[in-house]
């Protein structure tokens, strides 16, 4: 009995094998899987083989295309080319370099010269003389550059005497006309009296008219003289009320009783030895202050010195 079933089994196996072999000879070649790790995409330059003819009656298999995975790109199969068609190779196009833009050379424009800033036009300054009433004695019609009238002198009382001299402020007698031919002869006490009213340290800075009236006039005065030390041929000296040798003898002068004199010429050896003399020249009242300290007050320019003999006044 076992032998019988063994024979039956062999027959069945033989029948199945025959059917499979027959079916394999009639079927088309197996299709290559479309997608998969082993699937390769033919290059565009290789011709594709002609597909085999299928027997629609016997080929009952259905090709199932695998669905593309999400976010995956579908591979495109290149179109089949005919066998006899010449292979058309894509022309090798030269790599197109990015279009070179023409270089635009920007020449630096020359720096313009600095424009000089013109000062803003200021309103025309008003002529001070136009705001003052015309003085017929000073201004002339059409003379815009006429010098302003001199400032009025401080109040001073002058009395004319019969001999031609002047009595100033009822105290000081002055002779002469104030010219280079006839200079004023002024006493020292008139100059020293300025100390009574002119004291810059005390805030009193107004000069009296009895001394301002001699500013710019020619004056003659006699007094002691002192020359600069270590100068053999001096052209300057100090005319003083009191004697002073510049060191030890006498009383040092003050700005009220001394005159700084500039001579018109160098003194002679005889004049250099003199200690007293008369000076004559153009007088000036020029206060020189260091802060509120009065350093100098009286000046004389283009002066000449007169002495009679050694240590004897003129």
HEC string of 138-180 equals CCCCCCCCCCCCCCCCCCCCEEECCCCCEEECCCEEEECCCCC
pLDDT tens-place string over residues 25-60: 555 444 454 444 444 555 545 555 554 444 444 444
Between 4 and 93, residue with greater pLDDT: 4
Residue 127 has pLDDT above 50, yes or no: no
* Average of per-residue pLDDT values in the chain: 74
Give the pLDDT confidence of 191-208 residue by residue, as tens digits: 999 999 999 999 999 999
What percentage of the chain exceeds 70 in pLDDT?
Answer: 56
CB 185 within 8 A of CB 221: yes
294-306 pLDDT, tens per residue? 999 999 999 999 9
Structure token pair of residue 261: 């004199």
Mean of pLDDT values over 206-217: 96
3-state secondary structure of 299: strand
Q: Does domain 158-306 have CATH number 2.40.50?
A: yes
Contacts 24+ apart (CB under 8 A), 242-245: 243/275, 243/276, 245/275
pLDDT score of 312: 45
**Domains of the chain by residue range:** 158-306
pLDDT at 35: 46
Q: In this predicted structure, what is the pLDDT of residue 265? A: 95
What is residue 155's predicted lDDT score, i.e. its pLDDT?
A: 86
Q: What is the pLDDT of residues 275-285, one digit of tens each?
A: 999 999 999 99
- pLDDT at position 130 is 42
Residue 297 has a pLDDT of: 96
The arithmetic mean of pLDDT across residues 165-192, rounded, is: 96
Q: Running DSSP on this structure, what letter comes out for residue 199?
A: B
Q: Kindly report, residue by residue over 255-266, the tens digit of the pLDDT.
A: 999 999 999 999
Stated pTM of the model: 0.52
Q: Environment class of residue 178 by beta-carbon count within 10 Å: exposed (0-12), middle (13-18) or buried (19+)? A: middle
> What would the pLDDT profile of 54-87 be if each residue is shown by its tens digit?
444 444 454 545 555 444 444 444 454 445 444 5
Window from 117-121, 207-211, 229-233, 305-309 with minimum mean pLDDT: 117-121
Residues 6+ apart with CB under 8 A from 277: 222, 223, 225, 239, 271, 305, 306, 307, 313, 314
pLDDT value of position 203: 93
Q: Which pLDDT score is estimated for 191? A: 97
Instruction: Please give the pLDDT value at position 139.
Output: 45
**Between residues 217 and 308, which one has the greater pLDDT?**
217
């Amino acid at each position: 009995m076992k032998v019988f079933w063994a024979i039956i089994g062999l027959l069945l196996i033989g029948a199945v094998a025959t059917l499979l072999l027959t079916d394999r000879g009639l079927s088309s070649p197996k299709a290559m899987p479309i997608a998969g790790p082993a699937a390769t995409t033919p290059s565009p330059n290789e011709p594709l083989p002609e597909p085999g003819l299928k027997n629609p009656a016997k080929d009952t298999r259905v090709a199932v295309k695998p669905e593309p995975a999400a976010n995956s790109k579908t591979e495109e199969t290149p179109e089949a080319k005919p066998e006899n068609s010449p292979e058309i190779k894509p022309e090798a196009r030269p790599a197109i370099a990015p279009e070179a833009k023409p270089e635009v050379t920007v020449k630096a424009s020359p720096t313009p010269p600095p424009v000089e800033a013109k000062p803003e036009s200021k309103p025309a300054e008003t002529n001070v003389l136009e705001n003052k009433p015309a003085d017929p004695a000073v201004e002339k019609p059409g003379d815009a550059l006429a010098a302003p009238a001199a400032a009025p002198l401080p109040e001073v009382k002058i009395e004319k005497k019969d001999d031609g001299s002047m009595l100033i402020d009822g105290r000081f007698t002055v002779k002469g006309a104030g010219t280079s031919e006839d200079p004023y002869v002024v006493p020292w006490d008139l100059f020293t009296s300025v100390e009574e009213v002119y004291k810059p340290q005390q805030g009193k800075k107004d000069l009296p008219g009895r001394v301002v009236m001699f500013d710019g006039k020619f004056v003659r005065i006699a007094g002691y003289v002192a020359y600069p030390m270590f100068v053999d041929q001096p052209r300057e000296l100090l005319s003083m009320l009191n004697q002073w040798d510049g060191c030890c003898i006498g009383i040092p002068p003050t700005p009220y009783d001394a005159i700084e004199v500039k001579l018109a010429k160098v003194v002679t050896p005889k004049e250099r030895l003199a200690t007293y003399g008369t000076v004559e020249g153009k007088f000036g009242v020029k206060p020189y202050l260091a802060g509120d300290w009065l350093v100098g007050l009286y000046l004389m320019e283009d002066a000449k010195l007169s002495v009679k003999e050694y240590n004897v006044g003129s």
